[in-house]
Amino acid sequence: MAYSEKVIDHYENPRNVGAMDKDDSGVGTGMVGAPACGDVMRLQIKVNAQGIIEDAKFKTYGCGSAIASSSLVTEWVKGKTLDEAMTIKNSHIAEELELPPVKIHCSVLAEDAIKAAVEDYRSKQGAAQVSQGGETLSAQVAH
Amino acid sequence: MSSSQIIELESKKPLLIDPDRPIYLDYQATTPVDPQVLEQMLPYLTHDFGNAASRSHAYGWTAEKAVDKARQQVADAIHADPREIVWTSGATESTNLALKGAAHFYSGKGKHIITLRTEHKATLDTCRQLEREGFEVTYLEVQEDGLVDLKAFEAAIRPDTIIASVLFVNNEIGVIQPMAEIGRILRAHKVLFHVDAAQALGKVPVDVEAIQADMMSLSGHKMYGPKGIGALYVRRKPRVRVEAQVHGGGHERGMRSGTLPTHQIVGMGAAAELAVQLMDSDARRIGKLRDRLLKGIQDRVEETYINGSMEHRVPHNLNISFAFVEGESLIMALKEIAVSSGSACTSASLEPSYVLRALGKSDELAHSSIRFGIGRFTTEAEIDATIELIAGKVGKLRELSPLWEMHLEGIDLNSIQWAAH
Ligand SMILES: Cc1ncc(COP(=O)(O)O)c(C=O)c1O
């Protein structure tokens, strides 16, 4: 299969490979996919007090396009608010990496990974608020 | 052809040692034409270009003589009579002719066919077609090591079974089926035995009498002959009949029409003779290289799994799964070596190799398998370079792999509920 130069670049020089402490309340972890399907992505985001994603790390088991898709989204989510990160669509990823039709699922998985990481972060925040006292929860969710 | 290439041919240097190209370890996909074979083919493209069916002049007689010699060479290689050899375009066509041809001819006796789940697609797809025509096919499971269970095989035979088709040497995992035992069982039950020997000739002794084969498919390009030529052995005593699938002109005693490609046939004959001559020396040398490759990988890389029996296997093949890395990314990482992957990710389907699935391998291990095909022109230096590459690249991909991290943390991946997608 012929890969685009961008896929090869991310594959050969993956950005932001690594792990964060998944028990840290400021870290959201999203793991999507399944080994049996040939790809598993783990995206982690570190969110600061202002609600901005200040760092992102990934590890991916999967084909070159899956590795490139996850590497790319770690670059894209950095500096974004959670809501902004949630607007990243698989079509943007596929377009940027020039993925062929058989590899679109890799970009779908990367989008799912962002959503899962954000949800994980939000549910942790929610849980933290609940354990501190129920009243603040609604305020937290509303903002 | 440039003049430098011609010089290379004349000096009979292996044609593959080329620093700008990946190391070729895909000899089960295809082989280069041996320079000794090519040399014999060339005159039949130019000077001796006649049509073997031309009975009225010397051009035709020269071609016919060359075809007869090649027919004898192929027959000798498998201990058959030259009148039992039908030229085809390759093992795919041979298998189509054997299975469809015999199924159609003998359909009055029964409509059941037996084959294995690990056969080549040439057999499986032909069987699917026969099913559409109203035949019934049993696709037998194999054991974990890729070998057929003879008891299960015999038990699958029914009164209406007319043909069984078995792959002598498997193209993905190199395992050798117990052909003599299978042949004995089938003869006792009066079931025709078709053997796909495309990967066997030149690697193991092939003798149609010893294994009691009734039909046998052969291919030129798997044994250092040209592509686009193959042969079907069709037994004369007791006589086996196949209905032609290609009509027009009545060549090959009516079994396969079409002008004979003299140069291809000469190449196949020369390749078959050479394959038998070099079988022992090739196997010894290649076996050492395979052992070196296996040891090198096992010494340097943890969590590797060999697919298929090591005992009943040709030395020309090594099929290994690298746990916790994905096959296509591995192939991409190994662009300096030309190998095949059990991951079919590159095609539209995301299904991993059906052969490895049939051995009961998990999808993950099937996805992460690499087939190393070692051949006549493989060198020790190429094997050593391959070991280096594998160790480095698998290590790099595992650093990227969340599954490897979880494995190192002692997490059982089977205990995790993975979301399907
Ligand atoms: C076991 C086996 N059978 C049949 C074939 C088909 O042979 P051919 O390419 O000559 O049609 C191959 C080659 O892919 C093979 O490995």
B-chain CB neighbours of A19 within 8 Å are 405
- Give the per-residue pLDDT at B16: 56
Q: Is the CB of B90 under 6 A from ligand 1?
A: yes
- Give the per-residue pLDDT at A58: 98
The predicted-structure confidence for A65-104, as pLDDT tens digits, reads as follows: 999 999 999 999 999 999 999 999 999 999 999 999 989 9
Residue A23's contacts (CB-CB under 8 Å, 6 or more residues apart) are none
Is B127 one of the catalytic residues? no
Measure the CA angle with vertex B176, ends B375 and B283; round to 5°. Answer: 30
Closest residue of chain A to B398, computed from CA coordinates? A61
Nearest CA to ligand 1 atom 5: B91
Closest residue of chain A to B367, computed from CA coordinates? A38
- Give the per-residue pLDDT at A130: 62
- Give the per-residue pLDDT at B176: 98
Atom number, ligand 1, closest to the C-alpha of residue B29: 14
pLDDT at position A132 over 70: no
Residue B377's contacts (CB-CB under 8 Å, 6 or more residues apart) are B14, B15, B16, B17, B24, B32
The rounded Å distance from CA B73 to ligand 1 centre is 20
Report residue A135 as tokens: 């009243």
- Give the per-residue pLDDT at B7: 39
Cα B200 to Cα A40: distance, rounded to the nearest angstrom: 39
Q: pTM score, two decimals?
A: 0.88
**Which of A60, A59, A56 is closest to A44 using CA atoms?**
A56
- Give the per-residue pLDDT at A41: 96
Q: Is B75 exposed, middle or buried (0-12, 13-18, 19+ CB in 10 A)?
A: buried
Is A37 one of the catalytic residues? yes
**Which of B158, B106, B168 is closest to B137 using CA atoms?**
B158
Cα B46 to Cα B48: distance, rounded to the nearest angstrom: 6
The rounded Å distance from CA B219 to ligand 1 centre is 7
Instruction: Among A40, A99, A105, pick the best mutation site for testing chain B contact (most B Cβ within 10 A).
Output: A40
The rounded Å distance from CA B254 to ligand 1 centre is 24
User: What is the rounded average pLDDT of the residues A4-18?
Assistant: 95
Question: Could you give the residue ranges of the DSSP H alpha helices within chain A?
Answer: 5-12, 64-77, 82-86, 90-97, 104-132, 135-142
- What's the gap in Å between the CA of B338 and the closest CA on chain A? 13
The predicted-structure confidence for A18-50, as pLDDT tens digits, reads as follows: 999 999 999 999 999 998 888 899 999 999 999
- Give the per-residue pLDDT at B350: 57
Cα B143 to chain center, whole Å?
20
Residue A93's contacts (CB-CB under 8 Å, 6 or more residues apart) are A69, A72, A73, A99, A107, A110, A111
Interface A:B, Cβ pairs < 8 A: 85
pLDDT at position A2 over 90: no
- pLDDT < 70: residue spans in chain B: 1-18, 343-351, 420-421
The rounded Å distance from CA B222 to ligand 1 centre is 8
**Which of B151, B159, B91 is closest to B125 using CA atoms?**
B91
Percentage above 70 pLDDT, chain A: 88
Closest residue of chain A to B418, computed from CA coordinates? A34
Tell me the ipTM for this assembly. 0.88
Residue B24's contacts (CB-CB under 8 Å, 6 or more residues apart) are B16, B338, B375, B377, B378
Residues 83-112 on A with a CB inside 8 Å of B are 102, 105, 108-109, 112
Cα B305 to Cα B167: distance, rounded to the nearest angstrom: 23
Q: Which helix (H) or strand (E) holds B95?
A: helix B91-106
B-chain CB neighbours of A37 within 8 Å are 350, 363, 420-421
Q: Cβ contact (<8 Å) for B363 and A37?
A: yes
